Each structure stands twice: as C-alpha cells, then as structure tokens.
Amino acid sequence: MKTLRTLLAAAAAALALAACGDETPAAPPAPQAMSADAVGHYCGMVLNDHAGPKGQIFVRGRAGPVWFSSIKQVFAYTMLPEEPKGLLAVYVNDMATAGADGAPDPAVWIDARQAYYVIEGGYIGGMGAEDAMPFSDQARAQDFARRHGGRVAAFSEVPERYVFAQ
C-alpha cells in the first residue's frame, strides 16, 4: 500500500510539473501612445521633435517602452550584444497609413517583426539620415520603393551593414 501511495504521489507531482509547462504565454504588451515627453533611447531627444516613423520596444522587467527616433535605431537595439535580449514586443509606425505629407500616424503601430521595410532608399528619417520605412502591406512597401528608390526586406532580412552604415 505504501508503494502505491508513493507511486500516486510521484505521478501527481509529475502532472503538476507538466501542467506548469502548459501555461499559455502572456500576450505581448500593447503599443503605447507616444507622450509629449517620450525621448529617444540613443539620442535622448524628444521624439515629437523628429519627422519620420518611430519605434518602441518592450523589455522584460521594464514597465514602459524604450523609445526610438528612427527605425534603424530599433534594429540596432535588437542587434547590439550589450542591449537587453528579453524583448516582449517590438513596434514601429506603419507608413502605409502616412498622411499626404508623408508623416506617419502617431497612433498606428505594427509588429516590427511582421512589417516590410524599404531599405537602401533615399528617405531621410527622424535623425536626418537615410532610414528604413516600415509598412504593414507589402504592396504599399513595393510601391514606395518604386517611387523613392530602395528595396523591400522583411525584418529578418535587414542586414547589419545597412543598420550600422553611416
């Protein structure tokens, strides 16, 4: 009888441990509205003072997002070995919803890893240098590249040499 109880207790413990692994991962944090005092991680400047699309990254253990003044900075943060790697969500403005003036809608954020980027073009971004343009729609990205130069790449296809080029 003692052996049966021991086996049942061991089985119950194994089931309890197995159940821990079945937990559904928490949904990523939703993108936040850019406040008037949001500053870029690398430049330390107020984001509203810069044109072009912006980015925000949520890092495990940090309450709010890390803000970025340009899309290349978003890529740099994900590539640099000294930056945190517990990324919960990465968002960029969607240029598919940009106004006639080319300004991104500050309320429209998309998952950066699902976006299509026009790179190696002539678009000058928020930091006064050529920057990647993120789009939720691949056809809109291709149209932008035809009109402004560059090529379309997925998040995983953007090369380090492009991100860190001067």
Residue 82: the pLDDT is 95
Segment 24-76, tens digit of pLDDT: 678 899 999 988 889 999 988 898 888 899 999 999 999 899 999 999 999 99
SS3 content of the chain, % helix, strand, coil (to 5): 35, 20, 45
> Rounded to an integer, what distance in angstroms lies between the CA atom of residue 103 and that of residue 88?
27
Residue 102: the pLDDT is 81
Residue 23: the pLDDT is 59
Q: How many CB atoms lie within 10 A of CB 91?
A: 26
> Tell me, what amino acid is at 110?
I
| pTM confidence score | 0.83
Choice between 150 and 4, residue whose per-residue pLDDT is larger: 150
Q: By the 8 A CB rule, do 135 and 104 touch?
A: no
Where is average pLDDT lowest: 5-9, 60-64, 79-83, 97-101? 5-9
